[in-house]
Chain A
Amino acid sequence: MEQLIHITVNGTKEEARVPAGMTLLEFLRERLYLTGAKEGCGSGECGACTVILDGKAVTSCLVLAVEADGKEVWTVEGEASDGKLSAIQQAFIDEGAVQCGFCTPGMIMSARALLMRNPHPNDDEILEAMSGNLCRCTGYEPILAAVRRAAQQESEDVQDER
């Protein structure tokens, strides 16, 4: 039985009829063609499908699209604006925190959720926030450096605006 859902994705209101068994990840990728979030393990272990649901980082492979009805979702596609990469995206490039790139959208969304709740995280807080995101290429040090750099950059940007 299909159900009507309304989800705000990256600021845009979406309406769709979806089967109850469709995950939020499938809805994003196969209905909205937002293919940034990836399916790695499909069981909440790897974090490649991480998106932000009502302000919280979640593994979208373990959320049903119908559970997200009425909620707000942010994906990596919502990071860049006006053709300019976000501070987190740029920091991942500058620190060499991207190799194959499969884990990167999930890493970036975990980092985004962290900076939303804690704009000045210490290393322990960064590691805790990123602990549900596996990377098989970089060895994590560049990722830690990228999140550090992004937090620094975003706090400087905020000061510039004042």
Chain B
Amino acid sequence: MLGNFDYVRAESVEHGCALLARTPGAAVLAGGTDLLVNIRNKAISPTLLVDFKGINEMGGIAFTDGVRIGANVPLNAIAEDQRIKTAYHALFEAATAVATYQVRNRATLAGNLGNASPAADTAPPLFVLDAHVEISGPDGTRRIPVRDLPVGVKKTALAPDEVITAVTLPPLATGVRTKFVKKQRIKGHDLAIINMAGYYDPSSGELRIAIGSCAPTPVLLPPLPEPVRRDDPLDDLTAALNRIAQEAVSPIDDLRASAAYRREMIPVFLRRILTALLHEGED
């Protein structure tokens, strides 16, 4: 027995949010791969789990203008979607980097964001892709940028009676490249020591970088003052971004790595990302 709590399948988003609103200690159950572990470890003891998985409007991957990924979509469904692999490559790479194959059959993108771990692998790609979360509550639906969702370690901008119903990504300009990289202690299942995502639009020269596991929340770096060109010297670019990044992060020592190691890894991973974004596919 994991704990002493009740369980209800929400019949609709409204029904589920009403339950969250009127039940002190209620929690949203998505894939459960973080929530149930936290209950087992007695880190939390919710009184009621509200399961939104049966709700149609919170499922499915819909390509319209950009893409809408329902909150109930498991990470493997994202990793196996060829359209996402092609259009939003960094998100594909991050989705396959989370935990293990079995866990990804349950764990959801929305859950990875809602859990608000500083190490959430899917957060840096969604930051650079300018993704939004669709949030429903008793007062209706609102949209906020994914980068505004986490406000601290395991803390989000969600009210207790709100639930993420979808993640939306804008369409990308032709030629845009995205890349995700992750440093972990072992090749298999491990949380990130550092993770990083990049976005580069060769036509405008816009470069975006987001770094995870190096601050209480993932960090979207402020932009470089000048557009980035493919033939900019890699050393100079890495150094310029590293200066910005070192200001923006505040890593800690933990069981996975020291703060100093994380700072040392930032330029290493910046260079890898820049190489992939600017030079991959060249002779």
Contacts and interface: CB of A to CB of B under 8 A. Distances in A.
Nearest to A41: B37
B100 A131 contact: yes
Contacts of B32: 62-64, 67
A125 B33 CA distance: 23
B86 interface: no
B4 interface: yes
Contacts of A132: 99-103, 189
Contact of A131 (B3, B49, B189): B189
A59 B4 contact: no
A62 B33 contact: yes
Contacts, number: 81
Nearest to B1: A21
A110 B2 CA distance: 24
Contacts of B36: 23, 62, 64
Contact of A57 (B4, B53, B102): B102
A128 to B, nearest CB: 6
Interface string B34-53: 00110011000000010101
A58 B51 contact: no
Contacts of B41: 43
A65 B44 CA distance: 20
Interface residues of A, number: 29
Interface residues of B, number: 27
A3 B51 CA distance: 14
B6 A20 contact: yes
A22 B1 contact: yes
A129 B106 contact: no
B6 A62 contact: no
A100 interface: no
Name the residue among A44, A50, A131 with the largest chain B CB count within 10 angstroms.
A44
B276 to A, nearest CB: 20
B63 interface: no
Contact of A129 (B5, B7, B40, B101): B101
Name the residue among B2, B32, B33, B102 with the largest chain A CB count within 10 angstroms.
B102
A131 B5 contact: no
A20 B7 contact: yes
A131 B100 CA distance: 6
A158 interface: no
A62 B106 contact: yes
B143 to A, nearest CB: 29
Interface string A49-89: 01000001111001110110000000000000000000000
A47 B102 contact: yes
A121 interface: no
B188 A21 contact: no
A42 interface: yes
A44 B102 contact: yes
B105 interface: yes
A56 B105 contact: yes
B99 A21 contact: no
A20 B4 CA distance: 8
Interface string A16-32: 00011111001000000
Nearest to B190: A45
Nearest to A49: B102
A62 B37 contact: yes
A50 B106 CA distance: 12
Given A58-B105, A67-B51, A131-B188, 15 more contacts: A21-B2, A21-B4, A26-B1, A43-B40, A44-B33, A44-B37, A44-B99, A56-B76, A57-B102, A58-B106, A64-B29, A131-B101, A132-B102, A132-B103, A132-B189
29 contacts: A19-B1, A20-B7, A20-B49, A21-B3, A22-B1, A23-B2, A26-B1, A43-B40, A44-B99, A44-B102, A44-B103, A50-B102, A56-B105, A57-B105, A59-B100, A59-B103, A62-B32, A62-B33, A62-B106, A63-B32, A64-B29, A64-B36, A110-B101, A129-B101, A130-B101, A132-B100, A132-B102, A132-B103, A132-B189
Interface of B: 1-7, 29, 32-33, 36-37, 40-41, 49, 51, 53, 76, 99-103, 105-106, 188-189
